[in-house]
Amino acid sequence: MSEKALRKEMVSICRRMNSSGINQGTAGNLSVRSNDGFLITPSGLPYETMDADDIVSMDFDGGYVGRMPSSEWRFHRDILTHRKDINVVLHCHSVHATTLACHHKTIPAFHYMTGVAGGSTIRCAKYATFGTQALSDHALVALEDRLACLLGQHGQISLGTTLEAALWLAIEVETLSHMYVQALMLGEPPILPEDEMERVIEQMRRMSYGLAPNEEGKGGNAHKR
């Protein structure tokens, strides 16, 4: 995809962040790997007035062209540097994920869909002042072997190979957060064991390649006629 097309898609995804309810106002930010650097949303510009030319081009050494980049550019840069398996970093202040983050709560395997983030938990990173290197360092720890994390007293980060994938995951993290907040009203919910979550995550991996579960003697596999 050309840089021009990436910029347009970023604007579209940003507006969908707000329309989906996972972000509000000028909060949140988005980046995508491009050429030898990355593109990132500018600082303090409402998504409804942002256009493709407002997207900022940055180098991994912190140099940029155009508007002032998002104040969170450090964790975007560091995640893209350390995680060669992903191309997109999406950060938002979705209400229920942020509610859990305000209590520094990790999301456990109370529901099997927790596995969409790559493990049996969605960790919460330690708190640090927004825009700082300390926040970036904490986020990298929480994201180890994961595709999403919460940020203590701040929000959430979701990763993806594509812009669509990162948006889908951010919405899923918010949905799981909402369910977990609701479940906690009845008390601590039971947690699925590690061996079951290993099966769930492997099954999710298989299904992403279009392979249905293979359970011998239990109905076989779906097949196209």
State pLDDT tens for residues 187-216: 999 999 999 999 999 999 988 755 555 554
When divided into structural domains, the chain yields a total of: 1
d(CA 75, CA 131): 8
36: nearest Cα among 5, 89, 85, 77: 77
167 within a domain of the structure (yes/no):
yes
Residue range 84-124, pLDDT digits in tens:
999 999 999 999 999 999 999 999 999 999 999 999 999 99
Helix, strand, coil shares, percent, the chain, to 5: 40, 15, 40
36 within a domain of the structure (yes/no):
yes
Q: Residue 47's domain is classified under what CATH number?
A: 3.40.225.10
161 within a domain of the structure (yes/no):
yes
191 within a domain of the structure (yes/no):
yes
Which of 3, 9, 48, 72 is catalytic? The answer is 72
- The dihedral region occupied by 21, where left means phi > 0, alpha psi between -120 and 50, and beta the remainder, is left
176 within a domain of the structure (yes/no):
yes
Judge whether 144 counts as a catalytic residue.
Answer: no
Mean pLDDT within 124-141: 98
114 within a domain of the structure (yes/no):
yes
224 within a domain of the structure (yes/no):
no
Counting Cβ atoms within 10 Å, is residue 5 exposed (0-12), middle (13-18) or buried (19+)?
Answer: exposed
196 within a domain of the structure (yes/no):
yes
Residue range 25-69, pLDDT digits in tens:
888 999 999 999 999 999 999 999 999 999 999 999 999 999 999
Containing structural domain, residue 117? 3-208
**Percent share of the chain, pLDDT over 70:** 93
Residue range 136-182, pLDDT digits in tens:
999 999 999 999 999 999 999 999 999 999 999 999 999 999 999 99
Lookup: tokens for 165: 């994938």
